[in-house]
Amino acid sequence: MSKIHQNRADGSRYIALPEGGRVLYLTKDVELIKQQLAGELVLRMEDVDPADLLDDINTDVMTPAWVCFRHRPEDIALDAYAGLLDANGERVFGTRSLMDGGFSIIVSGQRKGTGSSRETAPQCEKWSGIELVIASSFAPIHERNNINLGQLMGTYEQLEALEAGAEIDLDDFCGEYDPVTQAILKAGGLFPFNKAYEAGDLTVPAPATTGRPMNMVEKTIATHLVNRPASGDVFVKPDDCCLVRVDAGYSHEFTTAQVHEFLRAEYGDDYGVKNKDKFAVFEDHLLYADGVAKMKPFADKIQTLRDLQNEFQRHTGVRDYSAKDGVSPGICHQVARSEFLEPGMFVQATDSHTCMGGASNCIAYGVGATEYAGLAYSGFTFVRVPESIRFNLQGTLHPGVTAKDVILHILETFAVREDTLDRVMEFGGPGLTSMDVDERATLTNMATECTGKTGICEGDERLANWIAARRDDLTAEQVAAMFVTADEGAEYTGGVHDIDLTAIVPMVAKPGDPTYGEDIADLGKIDVDIAYGGSCTAGKDTDMDMYARVLSEAEVAGRGLSDGTSMYIQYGSEGTRDYAIAKGYDGLFRRMGVNMVQPGCGACIGCGPGVSDNTEQVTVSAINRNFQGRSGPGSLYLASPLTVAASAVEGHISAFQSGMFQAEKATVSTATSSDKNEG
């Protein structure tokens, strides 16, 4: 296959589409994709309306969970885009389809690479021969993963020029980035760049920004600079390139194997990691995969991932959160925020929901395996200071309305307009103080669904007490002293937006994408087969309070789960399980017929009890994503814990209102009396 990277005689580098070079257009009409793969159709950018290209191609589509059970990129590429299905539920890309197609360039629409931080997604393209990725916009973690792999990204205009025979300088594909990111791309990826940096072949200058008010992410990065200016006064602004010290990080069995393999390949079998006490491995994602029918054929590969993670942990000595007797300590994000994340920290981990840590007033976001391997080895990473968007929460939520409804409102309002794209979502205002810490974690957890860089909440007395109660080495006063606050006059490129909490109503996200928001009042009657409560988003202590609030009212009213609905509740951590047992919730849930699942991930990633079995089933779930096929083949609605529990009792998607079951009982009683009188 001809390569699009070319060298001139003077040593300069350019990109050109060679004769016979192939471009694959990912169109909303998947039949056109099939024709291109079969060699029956050739499209050109001048003939394609960008509106007809696929938007929001998520990483589950590019590499579904079962593809990620492989840890070698060349094996992952065999089933690139295995999650893209046609109207009949059949794969659009067969095994080796992309690899054998001879394509050098792949083209799609807006927000390419939404969803999980899995680096396997760009790997499946790169190891299939793709050298240039064209899209209207990219999700931030996916964009960074491409950069770390040395994978070029470009625009429709550049593609049209290439197809017309133009030669485009390599610099033109890198010019929008900071000097370090340009150097990473030109070096061919992060590892070659790191080697050049370690050898002294290049340097990273300190930011030259002078005094200015800073927001929370800017202040956090400024305090973590490795390449500090000589003046001692540190200020940064968006797009400044920085070397930043990493305080903490973690990986899980879905990702650690690649981290281990990459480090061995780059630094030899005797490699080490910096600050091992601040890094951890978790066995949480695949613990229950063996019990899902479609996952059983992959049992050997899953065990290989577990074995490689155990090998990595023994080799490096990082914190060990492996399962004991088949029970996980819990989901990495939930455990980390409870046990070792602190205000003001800079945290990186190999999962897109790392941003959940922002509820603890720290900067935390997901990275791919390559970047994580590099920062674990060196103790620092390269950061381009991101832009921010500020949400001032005003008022208080009505009973029956939750933080999940707030973030679904933000998704359908701000994220769909790309206001949040690659920006830090800063939450503050008097309405935030009315939310408990677990509810704030729901907001920051789903910043990644907004294609935001991450989310961060202001600190307050409530947060200080929450952290101190879970730590033996910190008092509330010490925690409060760590808080990062925005300066008066700080700038927000995405604007400052007031959210009136009193105007938020119970919502769902309709199947396919978290941005498809709808007020439950406008939804119509949707019968439910499965109601699932759990995941990092909805397996916390406060979420258990919500499930219990609904189910206890139903029990008092003599109601049980609907005959046609199965309900699952999975604890996010051992601490939450113990909390639920102490409060009597666990017994309530079991009396009501709920299927209880031990701590860990599960149905959220299609790897545990609660997944749908067929396309006809409807699930209402408190998880964070509802991409096609992510939690089984059925239709999945996202909702709050209150809505999930109420829907399980009613048998159809229902917003919870206190007393709703008693009211129905009274109505039934009245109707029965009337029937008797008429008889």
Given a cut of 60, whether residue 669 has pLDDT beyond it is no
- The whole-number pLDDT of residue 291 equals 74
Could you tell me which CATH number the domain at 5-198 has? 3.20.19.10
For helices 299-316 and 256-267, give the axis angle rounded to 10 degrees. 50
Nearest-5° angle of CA 56, CA 57, CA 62?
160
Secondary structure element (H or E) that encloses residue 260, with its range: helix 256-267
Rounded CA separation 83/8 (Å): 40
Residue 94 pLDDT: 97
Residue type, 345: M
Across 340-358, average pLDDT: 96
218: tokens are 């800017």
Q: State the pairing for strand pair 454-457/423-428.
A: parallel
Residue 274: partners with Cβ closer than 8 Å, 6 or more residues away:
376, 377, 378, 379
Report the chain's mean pLDDT, rounded to a whole number: 93
> Regarding beta strands 595-597 and 454-457, do their DSSP bridges make them parallel or antiparallel, or are they unpaired?
unpaired
The two tokens of residue 201 are 């072949």
Whole-number pLDDT of residue 670: 37
Cα separation, 422 vs 139, in Å, equals: 7
Lowest mean pLDDT among 216-220, 231-235, 334-338, 638-642: 231-235
Q: 506 - beta bridge partners? A: none
Please provide the DSSP assignment of 167-196 as one string: -EETHHHHTTS-HHHHHHHHHTSHHHHHHH
CA distance 639 to 520: 9
pLDDT at 270: 95
Residue 664's pLDDT band (boundaries 50, 70, 90)? low
Per-residue confidence band for 232, with pLDDT thresholds at 50, 70 and 90:
confident
Please tell me if the domain spanning 204-504 has the same topology as the one spanning 507-664: yes
User: Mean pLDDT throughout 604-610?
Assistant: 87
Residue ranges in 559-659 assigned as alpha helix (H): 574-583, 585-591, 641-650
541-556 and 574-583 helices, crossing angle to 10°: 30
Hey, which of 3-7, 113-117, 646-650 has the most confident mean pLDDT? 646-650
Average pLDDT estimate for 99-106: 96
Any residues with CB less than 8 A from the CB of 105 and at least 6 apart, and which?
Answer: 4, 17, 21, 22, 23, 24, 130, 131, 132, 133, 134, 159, 162
Query: What is the total residue count of the chain?
Result: 679
Q: Report the percentage of the chain scoring pLDDT > 70.
A: 97
Point out the least confidently predicted range of 69-78, 224-233, 473-482, 568-577.
224-233
pLDDT confidence band for 679 (50 / 70 / 90)? very low
What's the CATH number of domain 204-504, 3.30.300.90, 3.30.499.10, 3.40.50.300, 1.20.200.10? Answer: 3.30.499.10
Q: How far apart are CA 68 and CA 259, in angstroms?
A: 13
Alpha carbon distance 360, 354 (integer Å): 12
Question: Is 145's pLDDT higher than 70?
Answer: yes
What are the residue ranges spanned by the domains of the chain? 5-198, 204-504, 507-664
- How many CB atoms are closer than 10 A to CB 99? 19
Q: What is the pLDDT of residues 475-533, one digit of tens each?
A: 999 999 999 999 999 999 999 999 999 999 999 999 999 999 999 999 999 999 999 99
Q: Calculate what percentage of the chain has a pLDDT beyond 90.
A: 83
Written as one letter, the residue type at 592 is M
> How much is the pTM?
0.86
What pLDDT, on the 0 to 100 scale, is given for residue 678? 33
Stretch 441-462: mean pLDDT, rounded? 97
pLDDT tens readout for residues 317-340: 999 999 998 899 999 999 999 999
**Higher pLDDT residue, 269 or 291?**
269
Output the six-digit token pair for 242. 């920085």
Position with higher pLDDT, 447 vs 607: 447
What pLDDT is recorded for position 294?
74
CATH number of 507-664: 3.30.499.10
Measured distance CA(414)–CA(446) in Å, rounded? 13
Question: Does residue 108 surpass a pLDDT of 60?
Answer: yes
What are 17-31's pLDDT values in tens digits?
A: 988 889 999 999 999
Cα–Cα nearest to 577, from 551, 543, 611: 543
Confidence of residue 230 (pLDDT cuts 50, 70, 90): confident
Quick one: pLDDT band at residue 178, thresholds 50, 70, 90? Answer: confident
- Report how far Cα 435 is from the mean position of its chain's Cα atoms: 22
Mean pLDDT calculated for residue range 618-647: 95
pLDDT at 317: 97
Binned at pLDDT 50, 70 and 90, residue 663 comes out as low
pLDDT band per the 50, 70, 90 thresholds, residue 2: low
In the predicted model, is pLDDT for residue 1 greater than 80? no
pLDDT for the residue 194: 84
Tell whether the model's pLDDT for residue 668 goes beyond 90: no
Question: CA–CA separation, 133 vs 135, rounded Å?
Answer: 7
With contact defined as beta carbons under 8 Å apart, do 102 and 127 qualify?
Answer: no
